[in-house]
């Protein structure tokens, strides 16, 4: 994995060319110097964050799951709001799904929120309410992958394990000038091995946080090498290729999807539908609609979907627009229109049996968990 070009430059100790950094100290041969430099930099530059006060496993866990969904500033807001309502594992285990989804609303991937609830209940039942310290037991909790297990084990409990996320991949692929795609072998294994080798005994909490912080603040997409504690060791910087590392797999193209939703009001209420659990946005409430077929207009699709799903024969009203959002590799356009209910002497039309359809008051709508584009639609169309 070691770059031939980097090796040559380093071993010759050649003078630096204009625009190219001085030859680095070899990061593999001087590996023991790296963590002390990194941790000293972290001590001077770390951000004060609410989950870096007590380092309780519950707080570290919640913060790590939130940080997988959003940027730091937003995560701090969500985290504070969450902790006011659900300050510990017991509170989360006892919370209703609607409350948890409402607190999670806007972060996306709602299965993560449901997994948090399931994991809290597992901790109450299988671990007597005490967060497990063993990385394997943490990993066995619902929704906890290898990265989250390592982050909680090392940051909350000090276990000597490596945390490899996109930040750490970026930093290490530059430090060692990894020239093949970082998510594939042999690069992935090389990065995993070095991520662990660099963790000093007894320093896992600071070291792992420092690695993530370096990736977030300094070794960013556009690296700020002048601020980096590892600039004297970094092969990619020396070779002037830092902005081309990490090497990624071919980018997947975005797929465009057309969807539609309608605002149907009757008797001071608006029609909403609860999505089935298990799929995308499972268990969240949304306005009626669905996918537009290639051979129909969004308006025709909306009337068809409403009629097929509820039996209600509505008409198009005035007002509408579109909301564009992205989810994984999909670029989704949500077309929306106001709808007029058939005349029923002021009463709301009857709904299909079951609990998945509801005529909601504006107050109820504000409390129900909704996917972000439908919350935006409630704001645009209903002023909520
Ligand atoms: Fe290398 Fe620059 Fe990243 Fe530091 S910030 S690891 S010097 S690319």
Burial class (CB in 10 A: 0-12, 13-18, 19+), 255: exposed
Residue that terminates a domain, selected from 244, 267, 302: 244
pLDDT digits (tens, 9 = 90+) for 48-106: 999 999 999 999 999 999 998 888 999 999 999 999 999 999 999 999 999 999 999 99
Atom of ligand 1 nearest to the CA of 229: 4
User: Is 222 found in the same domain as 97?
Assistant: yes
Q: Is residue 19 part of a domain?
A: yes
End-to-end Cα, the chain, rounded Å: 55
Ligand 1 centre distance from Cα of residue 204 (Å): 21
CA-to-CA separations, 91 to 3, 123, 239, in angstroms, rounded: 51, 12, 52
Ligand 1 centre distance from Cα of residue 11 (Å): 20
For position 2, what pLDDT does the model report? 42
Residues identified as active-site: 64
- What distance in Å separates the CA atoms of residue 52 and residue 318, rounded to the nearest whole number? 51
Total number of domains in the chain: 2
User: Is 259 found in the same domain as 179?
Assistant: no
Per the CB < 8 A criterion, the answer to whether 236 and 72 are in contact is no
pLDDT digits (tens, 9 = 90+) for 334-380: 999 999 988 766 678 888 887 789 999 999 999 999 999 999 999 98
pLDDT digits (tens, 9 = 90+) for 274-321: 998 767 788 899 999 999 887 788 999 999 999 999 999 999 998 889
pTM score of the predicted model: 0.67
Q: Is residue 80 part of a domain?
A: yes
For position 328, what pLDDT does the model report? 73
Q: Is residue 261 part of a domain?
A: yes
User: DSSP 3-state assignment of 322?
Assistant: strand
Atom of ligand 1 nearest to the CA of 214: 5
- What distance in Å separates the CA atoms of residue 356 and residue 358, rounded to the nearest whole number? 7
Query: What is the overall mean pLDDT for the chain?
Result: 88
CA-to-CA separations, 44 to 40, 53, 229, 383, in angstroms, rounded: 7, 16, 11, 46
303 CB under 6 A from ligand 1?
no
For position 344, what pLDDT does the model report? 67
234 CB under 6 A from ligand 1?
yes
User: Is 83 found in the same domain as 9?
Assistant: yes
User: Is 236 found in the same domain as 138?
Assistant: yes
Domain hosting 285: range is 255-382
Per the CB < 8 A criterion, the answer to whether 141 and 122 are in contact is yes
Ligand 1 centre distance from Cα of residue 13 (Å): 19
Q: Is residue 249 part of a domain?
A: no
- Comparing 23-27, 120-124, 191-195, the range with the smallest average pLDDT is 23-27
Atom of ligand 1 nearest to the CA of 245: 8
174 CB under 6 A from ligand 1?
yes
Tokens of 375: 């919350």
């Amino acid at each position: 994995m070691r770059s031939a070009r980097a090796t040559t430059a380093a071993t010759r100790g050649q003078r630096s060319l204009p625009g190219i950094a001085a030859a680095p100290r070899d990061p593999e041969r001087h590996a023991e110097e790296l963590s002390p430099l990194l941790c000293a930099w972290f001590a001077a530059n770390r951000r004060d964050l609410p989950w870096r006060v007590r380092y309780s496993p519950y707080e570290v866990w919640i913060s790590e799951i939130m940080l997988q969904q959003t940027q730091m500033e937003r995560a701090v807001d969500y985290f504070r709001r969450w902790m006011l309502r659900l300050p510990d594992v017991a509170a989360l285990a006892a919370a209703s799904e609607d409350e948890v989804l409402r607190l999670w609303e806007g972060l996306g991937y709602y299965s993560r929120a449901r997994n948090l609830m399931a994991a809290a209940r597992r901790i109450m039942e299988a671990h007597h309410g005490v967060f497990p310290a063993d990385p394997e037991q943490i990993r066995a909790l619902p929704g906890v992958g290898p990265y989250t297990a390592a982050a909680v084990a090392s940051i909350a409990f000090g276990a000597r394990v490596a945390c490899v996320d996109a930040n750490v991949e970026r930093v290490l692929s530059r430090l060692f000038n990894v020239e093949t795609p970082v998510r594939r072998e042999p690069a992935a294994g090389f990065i995993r091995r070095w991520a662990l080798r660099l963790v000093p005994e007894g320093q896992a909490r600071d070291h792992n946080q420092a690695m993530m912080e370096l990736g977030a603040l300094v070794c960013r997409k556009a690296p700020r090498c002048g601020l980096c504690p590892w600039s004297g060791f970094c092969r990619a910087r020396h070779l002037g290729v830092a902005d081309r590392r990490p090497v990624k797999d071919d980018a997947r193209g975005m797929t465009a999807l057309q969807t539609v939703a309608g605002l149907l009001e009757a008797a001071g209420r608006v029609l909403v539908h609860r999505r089935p659990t298990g799929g995308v946005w499972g268990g969240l409430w949304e306005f009626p609609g669905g996918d537009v077929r290639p051979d129909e207009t969004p308006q025709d699709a909306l009337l068809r979907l409403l009629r097929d799903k509820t039996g209600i024969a509505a008409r198009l009203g005035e007002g509408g627009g579109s909301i564009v959002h992205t989810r994984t590799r999909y670029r989704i356009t949500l077309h929306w229109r106001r709808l007029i209910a058939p005349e029923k002497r002021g009463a709301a039309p009857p709904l299909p049996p079951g609990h998945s359809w509801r005529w909601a008051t504006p107050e109820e709508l504000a409390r129900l968990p909704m996917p972000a584009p439908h919350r935006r639609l409630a704001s645009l169309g209903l002023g909520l």
